[in-house]
Chain A
């Protein structure tokens, strides 16, 4: 039997139904919009009678919705390897040479067998990567410190406020070195390059602070695909745990990190769960320091409030929340930022 790869067009209802049924039978039943809307390409292998026997999809640099039926296959894994090969060639055509898989623990070995490397595993799901630049190459570019206590902070800084500054200053006082990882996902009001620059400028006077990009490894955990998990409660648990474990197993040891500083979270339930997961996962390896959020006139300083002030054109009301460097940038680019909000950029959330 000649098993050829074909495109599956999910915009076609009967094709989509067949695809969904095939996945459901194999335990993948989450087709929530946030999981499916970024799918760019879906491929499949069909049997002579037209039934689907293997499939996989691409969304940005993530391979997802992979499922294979081995019945009648030349050898176990042959169809799986064929699907992954084809997805990788298509990624290469799109000039993407570094990609991820989020999958159930039972498929971890199959992916390792075709060259993927596990970054972190939880009971609910695992994340693997393949290609270049991988985690080793990412870490090789970050300056190292051979002695003393090394603190770490991960922030989105959308934009950098006095609250962020307060956290960094505290860590800088209590440690010999501080890494500030800036989340590199481009989905915030302030673009990644802007956020990064504002963190750099806002901490330039602190000599023991090193600002680095979080790369592909410190992203917003809510963006972790969870299409293979049915239970909504488990999704947030899996996402926060996976994020904490990537940090724990990949980042801490090579950079000799001894603590992670977190801002307390009086305002967001999700971030609170995230802080809990980080504390639980990391405390046996490093110190997790939760710092009460900076308050000015009994008001918690938050970047959300700054973004609202931009939207409402009331910058003067939040000037005490932000360092001069951030204020200057906002005032110089106010129109552009407001335009982004008008065009639909969300300002609540992170």
Chain B
């Protein structure tokens, strides 16, 4: 699947994460801002990459500002961002959810 438009999901509030997705050409290009990037950066990226993978997205620019979100929050925000970026908010992909 190809990203149709830039989309954002999540907030900058404590325990949340803000994810901005836009079209890319070179795999997953991450920019991550997090207090715990050293400890959990790879895990955060992996969670988001998995979600993108479920939607069959191969290329994307992913800008993440993490405020200490738990894994399930990251997953939920990533799903919301993807649905918006693919313009399928009205027709969610149930098998992924």
Cβ-defined contact, B22 with A97, below 8 A: yes
In-complex Cβ contact of B18 among A78, A82, A115, A133 (8 A) = A115
Quick check: is A81 within 8 A (CB to CB) of the other chain? yes
* In the complex, chain B residues whose CB is within 8 Å of the CB of A131: 6, 20, 63
Quick check: is B51 within 8 A (CB to CB) of the other chain? no
Quick check: is A89 within 8 A (CB to CB) of the other chain? yes
A-B contact count (CB 8 A): 50
**Known contacts being A97-B22, A114-B65, is A88 close to B8, with CB within 8 Å?**
yes
* In the complex, chain B residues whose CB is within 8 Å of the CB of A85: 11-13, 18
Q: Mark B12-55, 1 if CB is under 8 A from A, else 0.
A: 11100010101000000000010000000000000000000000
A84 to B11 CA separation, bound complex (whole angstroms): 9
How big is the B interface, by class? Answer: 10 to 19
A230 to B95 CA separation, bound complex (whole angstroms): 57
In-complex Cβ contact of B63 among A75, A81, A132 (8 A) = A132
Cβ-defined contact, B33 with A115, below 8 A: yes
A75 to B35 CA separation, bound complex (whole angstroms): 16
Quick check: is B67 within 8 A (CB to CB) of the other chain? yes
* In the complex, chain A residues whose CB is within 8 Å of the CB of B61: 132, 137
Quick check: is B7 within 8 A (CB to CB) of the other chain? yes
CB nearest to A86 among chain B residues: B11
* In the complex, chain A residues whose CB is within 8 Å of the CB of B65: 114-115
CB nearest to A112 among chain B residues: B33
CB nearest to A78 among chain B residues: B14
In-complex Cβ contact of B13 among A81, A95, A132 (8 A) = A81
Quick check: is A92 within 8 A (CB to CB) of the other chain? yes
Which residues of A in the span 294-319 have a Cβ within 8 Å of any Cβ on B?
Answer: none
Q: Mark A106-150, 1 if CB is under 8 A from B, else 0.
A: 000000011100000000000000111100010000000000000
Min C-beta distance of A120 to chain B, whole Å: 19
* In the complex, chain A residues whose CB is within 8 Å of the CB of B6: 97, 131-132
Cβ-defined contact, A78 with B13, below 8 A: yes
* In the complex, chain B residues whose CB is within 8 Å of the CB of A130: 63
**Known contacts being A114-B65, A131-B20, is A97 close to B8, with CB within 8 Å?**
yes
A85 to B8 CA separation, bound complex (whole angstroms): 11
Q: Mark B49-75, 1 if CB is under 8 A from A, else 0.
A: 000000000000101010100000000
**Known contacts being A88-B8, A92-B7, A97-B8, is A81 close to B20, with CB within 8 Å?**
no
* In the complex, chain B residues whose CB is within 8 Å of the CB of A89: 8, 11
Min C-beta distance of A138 to chain B, whole Å: 13
Which residues of A in the span 203-218 have a Cβ within 8 Å of any Cβ on B?
Answer: none
In-complex Cβ contact of A115 among B5, B7, B14, B63 (8 A) = B63
Min C-beta distance of A182 to chain B, whole Å: 25
* In the complex, chain A residues whose CB is within 8 Å of the CB of B5: 95
In-complex Cβ contact of B12 among A74, A84, A92, A137 (8 A) = A84
Cβ-defined contact, B63 with A82, below 8 A: no
A97 to B8 CA separation, bound complex (whole angstroms): 8
Cβ-defined contact, B18 with A132, below 8 A: no
Cβ-defined contact, A132 with B11, below 8 A: no
A137 to B31 CA separation, bound complex (whole angstroms): 13
A130 to B33 CA separation, bound complex (whole angstroms): 12
A137 to B23 CA separation, bound complex (whole angstroms): 12
User: Assuming A74-B14, A81-B67, A114-B18, what are 12 further A-B pairs, CB within 8 angstroms?
Assistant: A78-B14, A81-B13, A81-B14, A89-B8, A97-B8, A113-B33, A114-B12, A114-B33, A115-B12, A115-B18, A115-B33, A132-B63
Residues of A bordering B, CB below 8 Å: 74-75, 78, 81-82, 84-85, 88-89, 92, 95, 97, 113-115, 130-133, 137
